[in-house]
Amino acid sequence: MKKAPEKIAPAPSREVAELRARLAEADETLRAIRHGEVDTVMVAGKQGRQVFTLQGAELAYRALIESMNEGALTLTADKTILYANQCFARFVKLPLEQVIGSSFRSFLSVEDSATLRPHMKQAAHSGAKMQMMLHAGDGSLRPVQISVRELAGKNTDAVIIGMVVTDMTEARRTEEMLRALTNRVVQVQEAERGRVALELHDHITQLLCAIGFRSQTLANKLSARDAPAKKEAIALGKLLGGAAEEVERISRHLRPGVLDQLGLNAVLRATSREFTQRTGVAIALTGVELATRLPHDTELALYRVLQEALRNVEQHARAKNVNVSLSQSDGGVQLAIGDDGVGFDPDRRLTKRKGKRGLGLLGMRERANYVGGALTVKSAPRAGTVIKVRIPLVPAA
């Protein structure tokens, strides 16, 4: 005999009603998260589940936060996201319900996450800012600036961190365009300097030398009876000779031929020797002799930094001694110029941008940036100045 199939009893109407109620509650929760209407988040931590109430979640406050063009977050101390606005969700290209309750570290690289840790500790006292790359859900990267501040919680001992995330994409693009323009200006400037230097050397210097020879010839032809005129002709020849030397010096500074022909080692020695002879300030040149020539742009950038640094020493430092050091490692080359002069406050000088020295420091930084290097200035009033520029070297293929 076949056994009759068992009949499944219908679920009680009360259980069906409960399931429908839970489903409706879940839908309402998702809707509230999407619209930023969540006031409470439960987070599982080491001490068990904790309930966080989002302070200041009134309608007007939410409307302000949601209308921002910047991401706004509140985090726990372990970087769990309690609240995020729609703008931040757009930054990371994820639905808002996937962002809230997740860890902020999931949107950072390992290096940026480690960098953020001390800034989070500093946020309790004075706030902190840093720039990093935000990892979106689709794998893309977005440059952002993060401002962190500890928020004062009410009726709770839990630490709440407030964070504002600013998109830096447009700022980075503008910065890159400005840097490309600056680099182009440097190229045009160097080309023009070379043209002017060639004109001075090939025309003005030769013309002054020719006039000097004619003056000397005239002096030789004058007899003893024309002693006053002969004396004037000799003095004129000396003046013309000095003018020719000065024009030649300017020509070398505009475009040093020794740099193109013999390299950085030779131009450092020649520039130091000429500076000491002209100003009386002693220069101690130390460091290694470069075994091979550096890339032309690198040599030119280092020479221009040295040139501007010595100009500052001559015009402002009132120094008696200068140390110029050149060193090279596997990763790059470093030039350091130090003096025992009166010194100055670099931050104040660059902020106010007054005087030629402020513009000179900015110019040196741009020169270093142009070839991928970095320039540092260490100085203080009555404590001298040390300028260092380090430029990385790309290994030859």
Q: Residues of the chain with pLDDT > 70: what percent? A: 80
Is 238 found in the same domain as 221?
yes
What CATH number is associated with residue 32? Answer: 3.30.450.20
Is 152 found in the same domain as 226?
no
- Decide if 4 is inside a domain: no
Sheet containing strand 141-151, edge to edge, reads 81-84, 71-76, 160-167, 141-151, 128-135
- Decide if 215 is inside a domain: yes
Token pair for 65: 């936060």
pLDDT at 335: 94
Token pair for 299: 């040599």
- Decide if 40 is inside a domain: yes
- Decide if 9 is inside a domain: no
Tell me phi and psi for residue 392, to 5 degrees: -70, 150
Banded model confidence at residue 196, pLDDT cuts 50, 70, 90: confident
Is 332 found in the same domain as 265?
yes
Averaged pLDDT, 149-177: 79
- Decide if 17 is inside a domain: no
Is 325 found in the same domain as 220?
no
How many angstroms separate the CA atoms of 292 and 333, rounded? 12
Is 269 found in the same domain as 249?
no
> Using CB atoms within 10 A of its CB, is residue 271 exposed (0-12), middle (13-18) or buried (19+)?
buried
pLDDT at 319: 92
Query: Is 246 or 20 the better-scoring residue by pLDDT?
Result: 246
pLDDT of 351 higher than 70: no
Is 202 found in the same domain as 163?
no
pLDDT of 397 higher than 50: no
Is 304 found in the same domain as 174?
no
Is 125 found in the same domain as 46?
yes
pLDDT of 2 higher than 80: no
- Decide if 292 is inside a domain: yes
Averaged pLDDT, 237-261: 84
Query: Is 92 or 393 the better-scoring residue by pLDDT?
Result: 92
What CATH number is associated with residue 284? Answer: 3.30.565.10
pLDDT of 33 higher than 70: no
3-state helix, strand, coil in the chain (%, to 5): 55, 20, 25
- Decide if 251 is inside a domain: yes
Is 371 found in the same domain as 292?
yes
pTM of full prediction above 0.85: no
Is 79 found in the same domain as 214?
no
pLDDT at 212: 87
How many angstroms separate the CA atoms of 323 and 318, rounded? 14
- Decide if 13 is inside a domain: no
Is 391 found in the same domain as 261?
yes
**Residues pairing with 376 in the sheet:** 388
Q: How far is CA 188 from CA 51, 129, 181, 192, 195, in A?
A: 63, 37, 11, 6, 11
**Domain housing 188:** 168-255
Mean pLDDT score of the chain: 81
Tens digit of each residue's pLDDT (9 = 90 or more) over 99-117: 988 999 999 988 888 888 7
Token pair for 98: 């996937």
Any idea what DSSP says for residue 370? H
Is 93 found in the same domain as 190?
no
Domain count along the chain: 3
Tens digit of each residue's pLDDT (9 = 90 or more) over 290-338: 878 888 889 999 999 999 999 999 998 899 999 999 998 878 899 999 9
